[in-house]
Amino acid sequence: MKLGLHTLLVYLALFGFLGPLFGQTPSGGRISGNLEANGNFFLRDTLIGAANTPQYDRQIFGSDAWLNLNYSNWGFDFSIRFDVFNNSNLLNPQGSYTDLGIGRWYIHKEVENFDFSAGYLYDQIGSGIIFRSYEQRALLIDNALVGLRVGYNFGEHLRVKAFSGLQKQQFELYKSVIAGASIEYFLLGKEGSRFTWAPGFGVVRRTLDDATMNNLVATINTYKPTDAFVPRYTAYAFSLYHTLNLGPFVWYAEGAFKTKDNMSDPLAERVTITGDTIVGKLIQAPGSVIYTSLSYANKGLGLTLEGKRTENFSFRTRPQEELNRGLINFLPPMMRVNTYRLTARYMPATQEFGELAVQADARYAISKRTSVNVNFSNITDLNGKQLYRELFTALLLKKARVWQLTTGVQFQRYNQQVYFFKPGEPLLENVTPYVDFLYRYGKRRSVRFEAQYMFTGEDSKGLGYDYGDWVFGLVEISPAAKWTFTFSDMYNIGPGKNSPSDATSGKKLSVHFPRFDIFYTHGANRFSLSYVKQVEGVVCTGGVCRIEPAFSGVKVAVNSSF
């Protein structure tokens, strides 16, 4: 059946794309697309841990590519995407993945107030707490819903939509059925009142397939009676949300509830029949999330306050799936998205089973040349145990079209036991001052400098926590509109307990992690060539994180839009 659908879409796409060349379609059709291709050459480096994977040991080269084509005509929108993975480490950083095929296709049509879409769909309800199908290529998350979605607009204010299908699993499909619906209303105030109100309600149902249920039963049958439970085929998730705009204020609030569901908790403990205690087990419980944000913007001042409480809200197409696989929903992250190399080193992954989080952000423009930003976030579990805390400050000074200086300091507390899955590790605390200076010396010509230093504490043996202290420096030169060159080095200046050791003496070593990049841009095409040596660490995209091993090698990338 899948091959038939793919073949059908290929014919539709070929007719849509090539038909105009032979005069077989009406005029007015639009074609667009984009290509993204990445290649990695792996250079083994046992000192930093870039070894003992298939790529370093024997494959040497890996690549990923996505070619997307879109065509619109006759009131229809068609899209097809071809995906290629050769010796790729995106799916599993410790493994190798090779496959190719149709990664996505869809057809969309609007008929007056009614619209429908079929194929691989990306969508969400509210902020995504009960349902979000989306793609994050940096982590190879692509949980598109493969099925049908219909929607109807009752005038300008009320919209209803419903969908049903199966979740994508690379080039296959999970077998559990996902269905949902939402109703959203939009109220516009009188002209000039700056008032809008958009409430909504959504519901999602997930029904397990028999093979998944049989696997659950077999696993639970190995548990002691105190840990065993009767698994359920179906779980429902409900969400009530709204967005209120009133002058300079914007208030979003969402409350979600999930009925009793089978879940896999990686941090829960259980006692085996033999008496051994192991971490990770299947549980069954209802779940809830309360999330709200309030923002204010007026006369150079911007304030945002956020709060979230999460309890047992792991919602997956199969409870046996872990990490970033099989995700049906998306829990909004509650930390600042940092971009500098050292300030982004310790990022907290959203905790599905228990999290109480707050975040506050304040920005103020003192003048046209000066502004300040302060961000604070604090995350604990439901028992008050510290998981993450950050205070980030930034001062921006600039002279229009000549130079710009950004400087500040970051303070962090980071729970290695939870985020790194390292039992017994202490709470990591660090302080990171940074400076970023950009100077423009001509039209589309500039030079930029970055400098950062991370201070960490020491244990009783005088070793820094994790990798200890770091220093980072970067120079970026853009001598012409099309070219950019960057050179950076991240140096483990104060080695910690996890830093590389000398093979003979066992002494912790200070190691350089250099990087050199060349970027060339021509029109809608961008090419890059990079030499990279990168320490292991957490990689996050939109609040979804994973631990990745060290990398050593050469990267090439091509991005083109047409």
Residue 164: strand pairing partners: 148, 179
> What is the rounded distance in angstroms from the CA atom of residue 44 to the CA atom of residue 107?
45
pLDDT tens across 523-554, in order?
999 999 999 999 988 777 666 777 888 999 99
Are 87 and 98 a contacting pair, CB within 8 Å? yes
Q: Which pLDDT does position 322 carry in this prediction?
A: 85
Does 28 have pLDDT greater than 90? no
**Above pLDDT 90, what percent of the chain?**
74
> In which band, very low, low, confident or very high, does the pLDDT at 367 lie, cut at 50, 70 and 90?
very high
pLDDT tens across 160-208, in order?
999 999 999 999 999 999 999 999 999 988 877 789 999 999 999 999 9
For 305-326, what is the mean pLDDT? Answer: 94
**Above pLDDT 70, what percent of the chain?**
93
Please tell me the least confidently modeled range out of 66-75, 288-297, 393-402, 455-464.
455-464
Residue 278: strand pairing partners: 270
> In which band, very low, low, confident or very high, does the pLDDT at 496 lie, cut at 50, 70 and 90?
confident
Does 24 have pLDDT greater than 60? no
Q: Which residue has the higher pLDDT, 241 or 22?
A: 241
For 131-148, what is the mean pLDDT? Answer: 94
> What is the rounded distance in angstroms from the CA atom of residue 324 to the CA atom of residue 310?
18
Does 11 have pLDDT greater than 80? no
pLDDT tens across 370-396, in order?
999 999 999 999 999 999 999 999 999
Does 256 have pLDDT greater than 80? yes
- Can you read off the two tokens belonging to residue 31? 């074609």
Q: Which pLDDT does position 3 carry in this prediction?
A: 45
For 132-151, what is the mean pLDDT? Answer: 94
For 25-45, what is the mean pLDDT? Answer: 87
Q: Give the predicted TM-score (pTM) of the model.
A: 0.90
Are 188 and 208 a contacting pair, CB within 8 Å? no
Q: Which pLDDT does position 193 carry in this prediction?
A: 79
The mean predicted confidence, pLDDT, of the chain is 90
Q: Which pLDDT does position 400 carry in this prediction?
A: 86
> In which band, very low, low, confident or very high, does the pLDDT at 226 lie, cut at 50, 70 and 90?
confident
Beta 277-298 vs 234-246: how paired, if at all?
A: unpaired
| Ranges assigned E (strand) in 97-192 | 97-111, 114-121, 123-124, 132-133, 135-136, 141-142, 145-154, 158-169, 172-185, 187-188
Whether the CA torsion 492, 496, 497, 502 is positive or negative: it is positive
Sequence-distant (6+) residues with CB within 8 A of 328 are 130, 131, 132, 143, 167, 178, 204, 206, 315, 316, 317
Q: Tell me phi and psi for residue 4, to 5 degrees.
A: -65, -45
Q: Which pLDDT does position 189 carry in this prediction?
A: 82
Does 56 have pLDDT greater than 80? yes
> In which band, very low, low, confident or very high, does the pLDDT at 7 lie, cut at 50, 70 and 90?
low
Does 102 have pLDDT greater than 80? yes
> In which band, very low, low, confident or very high, does the pLDDT at 22 lie, cut at 50, 70 and 90?
very low
Q: Which pLDDT does position 434 carry in this prediction?
A: 98
Does 25 have pLDDT greater than 50? no
Q: Which pLDDT does position 561 carry in this prediction?
A: 94
pLDDT tens across 406-453, in order?
999 999 999 998 888 888 888 899 999 999 999 999 888 999 999 999
Q: Which pLDDT does position 183 carry in this prediction?
A: 98
> In which band, very low, low, confident or very high, does the pLDDT at 401 lie, cut at 50, 70 and 90?
confident
> In which band, very low, low, confident or very high, does the pLDDT at 298 lie, cut at 50, 70 and 90?
very high
Task: Give 275-329 as a 3 state SS string.
Answer: CCEEEEEEEEEEEEEEEEEEEEEECCEEEEEEEEEEECCCCECCCCCCCCCCECC
Q: Which pLDDT does position 239 carry in this prediction?
A: 98
Does 100 have pLDDT greater than 60? yes
For 350-366, what is the mean pLDDT? Answer: 96
Beta 249-271 vs 234-246: how paired, if at all?
A: antiparallel
Q: Which pLDDT does position 269 carry in this prediction?
A: 75
Q: Which pLDDT does position 16 carry in this prediction?
A: 52
* Helical (H) or strand (E) element with 212: helix 210-220
Q: Which pLDDT does position 507 carry in this prediction?
A: 87
Q: Which pLDDT does position 506 carry in this prediction?
A: 80
Q: Which pLDDT does position 470 carry in this prediction?
A: 95
Q: Which pLDDT does position 180 carry in this prediction?
A: 98
Q: Give the torsion through C-alpha atoms of 337, 333, 371, 487, to 10 deg.
A: 0
Q: Which pLDDT does position 1 carry in this prediction?
A: 37
- Output the CA angle 43-45-49, nearest 5 degrees: 120
